Amino acid sequence: MRADLEIIQQWIPENSHVLDLGCGDGELLAWLKEHKNVSGYGLEIDADKINTCIEKGVNVIEQDLDKGLSNFANNSFDVVVMTQALQVVHYPDKILQEMLRVGRTCIITFPNFGHWRCRWYLATKGRMPVSDFMPYTWYNTPNIHFCTFKDFEALCHEMQMQVLDRLAVDGLHRNNLGSRLWPNMLGEIGIYRVARNVVKLA
């Protein structure tokens, strides 16, 4: 299994009901169904990936994340997952809001634009970073909303989200010492588990 999915699956309880936003070829859902008796749906818009989902027996729904999740009821999923899609959606804050509405907990992964290599590239060349990890030119990229870990956490705070778990990993999804000590500089990918803040009554 893809390394980030291997990490995520540990945060998904057995028998839970899961919504996977941008589920790709359905790898996570297929694995969870087989090993953890997890039910649920994946949303995807790429025709080839949808076909792969169908062939794997994954419940895939052809739906564009940018059109929202209004067809899903409040609290209807135990976990809502969105891997590597935060930076490609038109309104990251709105999709997060929606995820928190339909799911009890949410798992989000995204690339860290605050990683030292991005900073180095921008500082020395004065141009938008292009690397193996982020191979797109600024004018032709699906990634339209890059952020750093700090940016993301500031948004979490603003949206009164509670960060339950977070893991900064390198490009190979290893949680090494560097990314543990100084995540916003040394972590390449962020894996967050968040929930709505429980408002305590006075």
Partner 1 sequence: MAHVFPENSVGLVSPKVARFDQPLALACGRQLNEYEIIYETYGELNAQRSNAILICHALSGHHHAAGYHSVEDRKPGWWDACIGPGKAIDTNKFFVVSLNNLGGCNGSTGPGSRNPETGKIYGADFPMVTVEDWVHSQARLADTLGIEQWAAVVGGSLGGMQALQWSISYPERIRHCVAIAAAPKLSAQNIAFNEVARQAILSDPDFLDGFFIEHGTTPKRGLKLARMVGHITYLSDDSMGTKFGRELKTSQLNFDVNNVEFQVESYLRYQGEEFSGRFDANTYLIMTKALDYFDPAAVHDGNLAKTFAHAQANFYLISFTTDWRFSPARSKEIADALIAAKKNVVSVEIDAPQGHDAFLIPITRYLQAFSGYMNRIEI
Instruction: State the residues that interact with partner 1 by CB under 8 A.
Output: 17, 39, 41, 47, 50-51, 53-55, 57-63, 71-73, 76
Helix (H) or strand (E) holding 59: none
Rounded to a whole number of angstroms, the minimum distance from the CB of residue 57 to partner 1 is 6
Instruction: State how far the Cα of 191 lies from the Cα of 202, in Å rounded to an integer.
Output: 33
Structure tokens at 72: 């899903």
Rounded to a whole number of angstroms, the minimum distance from the CB of residue 46 to partner 1 is 11
Cα of 58 vs its chain's centroid, Å = 19
Instruction: State how far the Cα of 57 lies from the Cα of 4, in Å rounded to an integer.
Output: 22
Query: Judged by CB, which is closer to partner 1: 4, or 44?
Result: 44
Rounded to a whole number of angstroms, the minimum distance from the CB of residue 50 to partner 1 is 6
The SS3 call for residue 18 is strand
Residue with tokens 């994954």: 58
Residue with tokens 């778990």: 165
Among left, alpha and beta (phi > 0; psi -120 to 50; other), residue 126 is: left
Amino acid at 130: V
Instruction: State how far the Cα of 165 lies from the Cα of 199, in Å rounded to an integer.
Output: 19
Query: Judged by CB, which is closer to partner 1: 54, or 154?
Result: 54
Query: Judged by CB, which is closer to partner 1: 53, or 189?
Result: 53
Rounded to a whole number of angstroms, the minimum distance from the CB of residue 16 to partner 1 is 12
Query: Judged by CB, which is closer to partner 1: 47, or 198?
Result: 47
Query: Judged by CB, which is closer to partner 1: 13, or 57?
Result: 57
Rounded to a whole number of angstroms, the minimum distance from the CB of residue 62 to partner 1 is 5
